[in-house]
Amino acid sequence: MLSYEEAVKYILDIPMFAQKIGRENLAGLLARLGNPEKHPHIIHVAGTNGKGSTCKMLATLLMKSGCRVGLFTSPHLVKINERIRINDEIISDEDFARVFCRVKEKFTVHPSFFEVMFAMAAVYFNEQKVDYIIYETGMGGRLDATNIVEPELTIITSIGYDHMEYLGDTLEKIAAEKAGIIKPGVPVIYFDRDPQVKAVIEKQAESRGAAFYPVEKTNYIINSLGHKTIDFSFHNGYYKYVHLKLGATALYQVENACLAVVAYSLLMKNIGERELQILSEGLLSFYWEGRMEEILPGVYVDGAHNVEAVTSYCDTMERMYRGDRKLLVFAVVKDKEYESMIDILTGRLSFEHIIVTNVSEHRKADIHTIAELFKSRTETGVTEAADVAGAMEMAMDIKEKSGCNVYCVGSLYLVGEVKKWLDKWSRVHRI
C-alpha cells in the first residue's frame, strides 16, 4: 500500500496526465467498488458562491440532531484531507491512503483529480455508515462527477459569473449548468436573486416534476450586527419570522443560512420545539474557514474570488467593518475578472495601504499588472510582494506601526497560503 505522502503526491499529479473519464466510465468504476455512491439520504449542492458554507451549515444542523454526517467539499485550503470529513473530523492520513489505494486498484481508465476525490469520499462514507451525506459539486453541476448520485434533496446557492469559459457567458447558461443537478421528483431549494436564473431553475424543476422552494431577500430581516454574530429573523412556509443568531461575521452568510434552514426543515419534515432549538444552537455555533475569518486579532481572510463574491464582501465591509482602518492584501488567479474585482474594491472601500502578492498556483496573475491596476484607481500606496509569506510579514509590520486591520481577499489559494504562513508565524511568536 502507498504511504499517505505517496498517495497525496499521486493525486496532486493527476491533472498532468488524466482527463475526465465521463459518466459511463465513472459509473463503471463505482460499480467495481460496490456502488458506494448509493445512499438513501444524500443532499446535493451546486451554485457559484456559498456552496461550502451552505453545506457546512446544513451539516452542523444535522449533527446537532444526532446524525452522523459525511461532507464532501472543495477546494481544500491547506490539507487535501479537508475535502472529506465526517462530523467535523477530516479523514485521517491512514484512512486517506487506504481508501485511495482501494479506489486506484479498480481503475481501468484513469479518472480526473476530482473524480478520484469523489470516489474516495463515496467509499469512505459508505464504510463509515453515515446517516446523511452532503456532496458539494465542483465547478458546474450537469457534467460534474458528483451528479451521478441520487439525492433526497438538491440545493442551488447564489449564481453569478464565474468559470465562464466552461459554463457559458450568460447567467442563463450558467444557471442551466447548475440546474443540471435537479433530479426527477427530488425537491430543489434555490436562492431567488435574479429573474433570469429563477426562470431557468423553475423550468428545469417543472420539466422533472421536482418541487421547488425559492428563498428570497424578503424572507429575512437583519435585526442587529455584532462583532462575532448576526441576529436575523426568517420566515417562509414553515416559519413566521423565527428569530435566529448566526455565528458568522459576513452578511452573505445570512442567505446561505436561510437555504440551510429550509433544507433542514424539508429533511426533518416535522418542525417542533426541539428542531427550533437545534436551529438556534446550530447556526450560533457555525464556523467555516476562510469566510471572513479572523485568524489573528485584526487579521481577516476571505475567499471571495469573483465579481459577485467581491460585491458581497464589500457589502459586509461597509456595514460591519465600516470604522476600521484597513490594509488590503490581494492576490488573484489570471482567469478571473480581476479588473472588475479591483474596480469594486477601490470604488467602495478605502485602504491605507495595498499589498499585491502572488499565490503559488500555476494560474497566478502577474502581480505587476495587478499592482498597476490598483495604482490607476487609487492614490493609496501599493506595494508588490513576491510571495504570500513576504506580503504577510510586510502587512504585520505595517499593522504594528499603524494600528490598521489586515484584510486578505481575492482567492481561496491566498487564504490557504496565509494559513500556512500563520502556522509558521504562530510557532515563532508562540501564539
Tens of pLDDT, residue by residue over 277-314, are 999 999 999 999 999 999 999 999 999 999 999 999 99
Q: How far is CA 174 from CA 8, 48, 55, 156, 225, in A?
A: 32, 9, 20, 12, 33
The C-alpha cell that represents 236 in the structure block: 417562509
Per-residue pLDDT of the chain (431 residues; tens, 9 = 90+): 899 999 999 999 998 888 888 899 999 999 999 999 999 999 999 999 999 999 999 999 999 999 999 999 999 999 999 999 999 999 999 999 999 999 999 999 999 999 999 999 999 999 999 999 999 999 889 999 999 999 999 999 999 887 767 788 899 999 999 999 999 999 999 999 889 999 999 999 999 999 999 999 999 999 999 888 999 999 876 666 688 999 988 999 999 999 999 999 999 987 888 999 999 999 999 999 999 999 999 999 999 999 999 999 999 999 999 889 999 999 999 989 999 999 999 999 999 999 999 998 888 899 999 999 999 999 999 999 999 999 999 999 999 999 999 999 999 999 999 999 999 988 887 76
Tens of pLDDT, residue by residue over 11-26, are 999 988 888 888 999 9
